[in-house]
Amino acid sequence: MATPPYAGPRADIGVIGGSGLYAFLDHATTVQLDTPWGQPSDVVTVGEVAGRSVAFVPRHGRDHRFPPHRVNYRANLWALRTVGVRQVLGPCAVGSLRAEHDAGTVVIPEQVVDRTWGRPSTFYDEPGPVVHVAFADPYCPHGREAAVAAAGDRGMRFVDGGTLVVVNGPRFSSRAESLWHQAQGWTAVGMTGMPEAILARELALCYTSIALVTDLDAGIEQGEGVTHDEVLRVFADNIAKVRALLADVITALPSPNGDCSCRHAVEGMKLPFDLP
């Protein structure tokens, strides 16, 4: 699979998140990209944060038109790698499975459980060399370290570690499903963390999830349960805090020339195509 060489603005760090995060980029330029996997959710915006080059993709599109199960995760990650990105931050909204982690808490998970279905979840699904990528530790250790340090320095309520369970959506969990997730000892539930994390690993990208709790999940919340409007309202109320945290994390991330186990994820394997 040949892709034309890219000659536009480049970035070392990528952010995939909500449209409210545009404001943290300075000197921004938009780039229209196509990929072998189709078009990304929207144009890629390349700019700077504290002197570091950053590329941003709105996960659901600028107008939030793509539901979680229809996001083109492969195109989003491929586009970021095309512009030079090697470290990716994935901020997202989640429901808490623990009463002590209420709205406004930031979870920096260490593990993930994938309960999605029907989403293209690999780049290597055509006949050809079989590619098995290790995923025992799904998140970049250096990215997590930077996120934990930044949240601590800001005095934020945050969880260092825990497990994010990803459901298919777009509906929220039933109370029984939520109670089951809690019984497994998991920490938070979201709809977008997979296959984003594994696709990043398949492209040898560092990936760090930064999850903002917007609600208590159905199994621990009283009343009628969470609504879409509630999630959007809480995320909007906390967007300035999320932007500030991301800026701190970006500043603290290691040099793009540094070494990391994520960068060696497909090393020595025969791939069916060249990575951009």
Side chain identity at 141, as an amino acid letter?
P
Q: Which two tokens stand for residue 127?
A: 């006949």
Any idea what the Cα angle at residue 183 is, between residues 182 and 186, rounded to 5°? 45
How many Å apart are CA 146 and CA 123, to the nearest integer? 28
List the chain domain ranges: 13-264
Among the listed residues 215, 229, 237, 248, the single catalytic one is 215
State pLDDT tens for residues 118-159.
999 999 998 888 999 999 999 999 999 999 999 999 999 999
Tell me the pairing of strands 106-108 and 52-58: unpaired
206, 87 in Cβ contact below 8 A? yes
Tokens 């038109």, residue located: 65
pTM: 0.93
State pLDDT tens for residues 166-224.
999 999 999 999 999 999 999 999 999 999 999 999 999 999 999 999 888 876 666 55
The answer to whether 114 is a known catalytic residue is no
Q: Report which of 58, 78, 80, 59 is spatially closest to residue 14, judged by C-alpha positions.
A: 80
**Mean model confidence pLDDT for the chain:** 91
CATH architecture of the domain with range 13-264: 3-Layer(aba) Sandwich (3.40)
159, 224 in Cβ contact below 8 A? no
Per DSSP, helices labelled H in the chain are 73-82, 141-153, 175-183, 196-202, 228-252
35-39, 87-91, 110-114, 128-132: the lowest-pLDDT one = 128-132
pLDDT > 70? residue 75: yes
How many Å apart are CA 118 and CA 69, to the nearest integer? 8
Any idea what the Cα angle at residue 137 is, between residues 136 and 139, rounded to 5°? 145
pLDDT at residue 190, as a whole number = 96
How many Å apart are CA 63 and CA 76, to the nearest integer? 16
Q: Report which of 74, 68, 65 is spatially closest to residue 34, judged by C-alpha positions.
A: 74
pLDDT at residue 2, as a whole number = 56
The answer to whether 63 is a known catalytic residue is no
pLDDT-derived band of residue 3, with 50, 70 and 90 as boundaries?
low
pLDDT > 80? residue 238: no
What's the count of helices (H) and strands (E) in the chain, helices before strands? Answer: 5, 11
Among the listed residues 217, 229, 259, 274, the single catalytic one is 217
